[in-house]
A and B are shown apart, each in its own frame.
Chain A
């Protein structure tokens, strides 16, 4: 029997899985994507580099806007070969890490509701609200900030931000302990996720997984460590790595990443230098090609830019982490039950917007 899981389904998001089921067990899964395709790569060819910032942000707007734009800014700056003030780089790191936490909280909300746990859904949304408040203080927007610019950032950190942020972070660290007790030590959650959808490390590399999913299989790669791109080399942080590669390991990786992000934000707030936040850059990008990659919340996010010496890109290719992680889905959903599908799907943290672009 074929069952269509999505695109209008309480847990699927805007994509469809065509499941071949035998009773309750899934024989085969075929992802059917494209319901949220907006043609962003094509849209960028008709807009200037400045106008592209809000457009590129929409690749993954509601979870991870800063990291998504950061990759684009990096690739443009690489071609412009411009100096970026140190203070701007620190602000970028603070915003990127705050967004990583907000994104992981959003993921934890989806993960817990995918196994039918409403309490964590509400709690994580509460704490996410605090980080959106911080973003509102810096940029004036809560979800789509468009705050990064080639050559710096648009907004400086406001007066009194550090005090509020420290208070929120202290509170957030206390709540993380509650989260751990409530969901990661919960026997039912462990039953539902341990051993579900496991990927071995060699398989994970072959399938081209990125980010937390790859680290959950025991491969310690993180662009922030391997190829530090902003001022990440200044900070002292760990990359959490798990061996098991199942849904529980992937969940645990993201949980520990939130703790690491809190420590990075603290270090950045402590050591942020004074100075300008933005340098003037030309609107026209010189001819050339460039590639940049950043560690977004879902994994490695790559931009390939071909510029033809005008103020508009000739071609911008985006390699999004969700699309690459989705490749593993048909392989790890063989011989599982229908009940495991939402847990595996959410543990890979697939966002249809990110997959389709």
Chain B
């Protein structure tokens, strides 16, 4: 009885001196994995053949194929996108749809959430800050946390 009361106390005291698990997020970020499914990107507008398969397969109707300078290309409504990746999977062109690792996608304006083809083909802006190196992800987490 007494040990079951006092052992949690000693466990808690031990954990005070361990390294923290959290990353100071806005200043340091963990690098996402290579396959990370962030915001969609068109590798190039010219690479898109305008087949419309992405629009057909999208379960939330986030992708619409629109006319862009004499060709058809997808536009994306990020407010509807659920990042399921069916469009990337089905896309027949190796130069068209792909994922980026951008995940900070907030906008002040609802209109800004709709990515027209030209904007969709721009790579996301990298915020200036310190990235924790990829090969460190597991080591960093474990060193901070092991005994």
Contact = CB atoms under 8 A, between A and B. Distances in A.
B71 interface: no
Contacts, number: 86
Contacts of B99: 140
A181 B1 CA distance: 13
A36 interface: no
Given A141-B83, A155-B35, A158-B34, A182 B8 contact: yes
A51 interface: yes
Interface residues of A, number: 37
B84 A136 contact: no
Interface in B110-146: 137-138, 141-142, 145-146
A126 B23 CA distance: 11
Nearest to A179: B11
A164 B138 contact: yes
Chain B's interface: helix, strand, loop or mixed, by majority? loop
Interface in A166-213: 167-168, 171, 174, 178, 181-182, 185-188, 190
Interface stretch (A10-18, A52-60, A299-307): A52-60
Interface in B67-85: 82-85
B5 interface: yes
Interface in B43-90: 57-60, 82-86, 89
Given A137-B35, A186-B4, A181 B11 contact: yes
The 6 closest A-B pairs by CB, nearest first: A140-B35, A51-B59, A54-B84, A187-B4, A140-B37, A146-B84
22 contacts: A53-B84, A129-B21, A136-B32, A136-B33, A136-B35, A136-B36, A138-B35, A139-B37, A140-B33, A141-B83, A144-B82, A146-B86, A158-B34, A164-B138, A168-B138, A168-B142, A171-B146, A182-B8, A185-B7, A187-B1, A187-B4, A187-B5
